[in-house]
Amino acid sequence: MEIKKAEFVTSAIKPDQYPADHLPYVALVGKSNVGKSSMINTITNRNKLAKTSSQPGKTRLVNFYRINDAFYLVDLPGYGFARVSKKEKIKWANMIETFLATPNLLGIIQLVDIRHNPTADDITMMNWIKHFNIPLIVLATKADKLGKTRIKPQINKIRKQLDLSQHIPLISFSSETGLGKEEVLKAIDHLFTDHLGFEG
């Protein structure tokens, strides 16, 4: 796939605020600060399409970016930052659960940090995705921060720790260098071809 057009459409809290055109969703999940917004900018070749921050954000909004007038990349609020009240956590969980149940969700891209073992939150999130039977792509990001020889062993370790079966793509990625970009675009293509009956 080549991304020719990418535009921010809306931020939503509730499903009735989601875009009304019923295009499929490919959603991004991952802990806060792992690089979700950066990844959107990288694969769309747009520096400032999605707002990035070195401060773990508290954004509780679902951001919709329409790609090639064909589908939405959906930037979901991150998990795993400290100093969040129980009430906030419940709100987040309800919102994600509602989102995971939307019928036009074509697949999920989960981002983990290639330098670290997946967190308990990463594993909980993944089990949720598996439970809902949603096609999954995993990106091990910030690969530019690892020496080249350490990438492959770390990828193997992450695959084991997440207990990922071989058919689930696990792609080393970097928003800094563009590593893995073509592979991600191909994996998104596969979400569509694997679901030819998909009608939104």
Would you tell me which residues interact with Mg ion (CB under 5 A)? 36-37
Instruction: Name which of 22 and 89 has its Cβ closer to ligand GDP.
Output: 89
Give which of ligand GDP, Mg ion, none residue 144 binds (C-beta under 5 to 8 Å, depending on kind): ligand GDP
3-state secondary structure of 157: helix
Query: Strands of 71-75's sheet, edge to edge?
Result: 6-12, 62-67, 71-75, 25-30, 105-113, 136-141, 170-172
**Binding-site size, ligand GDP (CB under 6 A):** 20
Handedness of CA 145, 151, 154, 159 (dihedral sign): positive
Would you give the binding string for ligand GDP spanning residues 108-147, x where CB under 6 A is met? ---------------------------------xx-xx--
Closest residue by beta carbon to ligand GDP: 35
* Number of helices and strands in the chain (H, E): 5, 7
Alpha carbons 39 and 187: distance in angstroms, whole number: 14
Question: Closest separation between CB of residue 30 and Mg ion, Å?
Answer: 9
Amino acid at 165: S
Q: Which residues bind ligand GDP (CB under 6 A)?
A: 30, 32-38, 52-54, 57, 78, 141-142, 144-145, 174-176
